[in-house]
Amino acid sequence: MRRFLSCAAVIGLMVQPLFAAGVAPRGEIVLRVTDGHGKTLPGVTVTLIAAEEPHAKVGGPVITPPSGEARFTGLQQGRYLVRCEMIGFISETLGPLPIELKEPSPRLPDRIEVALPAGPIWY
């Protein structure tokens, strides 16, 4: 039993730097959508689009839960746009975001923060 616990502790120490570095796993885009005051926004429609073909949806649409997070996994190497839309807010398009599957390559942060500003009110 002691041997198992010490192995688990060593493995935990080896894996921790991967997550502590603050980078997303390869082939993954994770974002959190907030309003202009930092409060998470549930109900935002998030769509992933190939940057080279802006009319071709690759992932989604995903509707954000109360945490405001959207996650796209298993992505192929390429450049992507992320579109965030919600009634009452100004839509935002991020990107192009590079996904590289080989080493060494630039890495995206573990979570991209997106703040949607409130939109105009029409009567």
pLDDT of 109 reads 79
CB 32 within 8 A of CB 23: no
Whole-angstrom distance, CA of residue 23 vs CA of residue 107: 6
Omega prior to 98 cis, within 30 of 0: no
Residue 109, beta-bridge partner list: 23
Running along the chain, 123 residues long, what does each successive block of 10 average in pLDDT?
A: 33 33 73 92 95 84 95 91 94 91 71 87 67
DSSP string, 74-109: SPPSEEEEEEEE-TTB--EEEEEEEE--SSS----B
pLDDT of 54 reads 75
Domain 24-116: state its class.
mainly beta
pLDDT of 89 reads 92
pLDDT of 40 reads 95
